[in-house]
Amino acid sequence: MVTKLSEYIKRSIYLPGCCFLLLAISSSVLHAELIFSAPPRENASKGNETYGPLVNYLSYIIGEKVIYEHPGGWAEYTTNMRNGHYDIVFDAPHFGAWRMKHISHTPVARLPGSLGFVVVAKKNQRNLNTIKDLLSVKVCALASPNLGTVTLYNLLGNPVYQPRIHEVKGGFSGVFRSLKNGKCDAAVLRDSFYYNMDPREKEQLRVVTASSPIPNQTITVSPRLHAKKDIIAQRLVSVCLLYTSPS
């Protein structure tokens, strides 16, 4: 995920091609010091490598210094988000939707395509056939609030009844390894990860259930940047030769 994200960002700045899709345009007050952040999926060094080109480009198009602030963990990230500490955030759509509803953020761009997740089990695990069968077993997943895990909770529909989540580190590769090594009975994987697996590995699995596609990762800006959000959106789109969304 991080590698692909880094490639998307670098491509958006240095090469023509599809990267961000225009989502919104409008106006308000510019804040002097602008903070960009993203989820703590990597360490600070990797975060700077991944997001540095995008931060530099945002500084250029906004005309103010934008800095990348690496959160020390999920607790720090979500607390800072709730407190309106970040001016520009690039993360999954459930976070973006929360900011739009609660702290008046506005979406300006998103990666193309959509996000989806599958819950898989080993092919010989015949007792898992529907989403409700997961309630009686252990499921390997990334720690909540990862969107895949949140999506699993949503698929089950009732917050009272939840599966036993075995939290795994190491991305979806780590989740798959944990399933393969018998740490759990089922696993939540990104659909693109599953469909691009080695055919010999995929042959040993079967899909128990799959989510509907949702919008891809999104950049939102705080009210402090409302006066600049049209410029941000247009420049992110134009530098990539992208398609604008319908008005």
Question: How sure is the predictor about 190, in pLDDT bands with cuts at 50, 70 and 90?
Answer: very high
Residue 17 has pLDDT above 80, yes or no: no
Residue 118 carries which side chain, given as an amino acid letter? Answer: V
Tell me which H or E stretch contains 99.
helix 93-102
Q: What is the mean pLDDT of residues 102-129?
A: 91
Whether the predicted model's global pTM rises above the 0.85 cut: no
Residue 13 has pLDDT above 80, yes or no: no
Per-residue pLDDT, 64: 92
Beta bridge partners of 219: 90, 109
Per-residue pLDDT, 19: 57
* Surface-to-core class of residue 103, CB atoms within 10 Å of its CB (0-12 exposed, 13-18 middle, 19+ buried): middle
Location of structure tokens 């590698």: 3
Q: Per-residue pLDDT tens for 52-70?
A: 999 999 999 999 999 999 9
- Indicate the pairing of strand 34-37 with strand 66-68: parallel
Per-residue pLDDT, 246: 35
Q: What is the DSSP letter of 26?
A: -
Q: How far apart are CA 136 and CA 153, in angstroms?
A: 14
For residues 120 and 189, the answer to whether their CB atoms sit within 8 Å is yes
Residue 85 carries which side chain, given as an amino acid letter? Answer: H
Q: Pick the closest to residue 221 from 90, 120, 118 (CA basis).
A: 90
Per-residue pLDDT, 21: 54
